[in-house]
């Protein structure tokens, strides 16, 4: 996780892919060969989408990498609900109690594994100054909460 979030040059890769997409769009607009235009448009679309995906997930991965070293750890149980109606992008949500607050968590798609619905022992890591948890560690893997996660005070 640390290597992926801190050392791995994700920001540079996203910038390079964005530049490739821009160059391919320019090539598409200037070329008169139909095959070259199709290839340029395809490469522009794929590299642009991957660049956007990296850029959107990068802050969460950086926070999660930092959370492997620092942060307040809260042990407890999380109730996970995994909706697999979209096979490409399952929705993973969880609910966890922290003192007298309840966290309603939404997670990005984990890399290399997929959790099952149910109650699971876990450790949630909170970073000071951050509005949402940075990481939830389960026995089988790590889950990275998105910024859509919310904390409710009191509650059931």
Q: What pLDDT digit, counting tens, does each position of 48-85 carry? A: 999 988 887 777 778 778 777 788 888 989 999 988 88
148 Cβ contact list (under 8 Å, min separation 6): 106
The H helix count followed by the E strand count for the chain is 3, 7
For residue 88, what pLDDT is reported? 74
pLDDT attached to residue 153: 76
- The rounded distance, in Å, linking the Cα atoms of 144 and 135 is 5
In the chain, beta strands by DSSP E: 72-83, 91-98, 101-107, 118-126, 135-138, 142-143, 150-153
90 phi and psi angles, rounded to 5 deg: -65, 150
Does this model's pTM top 0.85? My answer is: no
d(CA 67, CA 72): 9
- Mean pLDDT of the region 146-151: 83
Task: Give percent above pLDDT 90 in the chain.
Answer: 34
Listed ranges 61-65, 133-137, 145-149; the one with the highest mean pLDDT: 133-137
pLDDT grade, residue 155 (50/70/90)?
low
């Amino acid at each position: 996780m640390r290597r992926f979030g801190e050392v791995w040059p994700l920001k540079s890769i996203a910038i390079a892919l964005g530049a490739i997409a821009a160059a391919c769009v320019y090539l598409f607009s200037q070329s008169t060969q139909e095959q070259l235009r199709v290839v340029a448009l395809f490469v522009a679309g794929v590299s642009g989408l991957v660049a956007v995906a990296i850029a959107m997930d990068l802050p969460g991965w950086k926070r999660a990498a930092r959370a492997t070293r620092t942060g307040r750890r809260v042990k407890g149980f999380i109730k996970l609900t995994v909706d697999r109606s979209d096979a490409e992008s399952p929705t993973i949500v969880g609910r966890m109690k922290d003192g007298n607050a309840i966290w309603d968590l939404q997670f990005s798609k984990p890399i290399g594994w997929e959790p099952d619905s149910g109650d699971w022992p876990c450790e949630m890591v909170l970073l000071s100054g951050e509005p949402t948890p940075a990481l939830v560690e389960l026995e089988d893997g790590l889950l990275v909460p998105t910024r859509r996660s919310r904390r409710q005070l009191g509650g059931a």
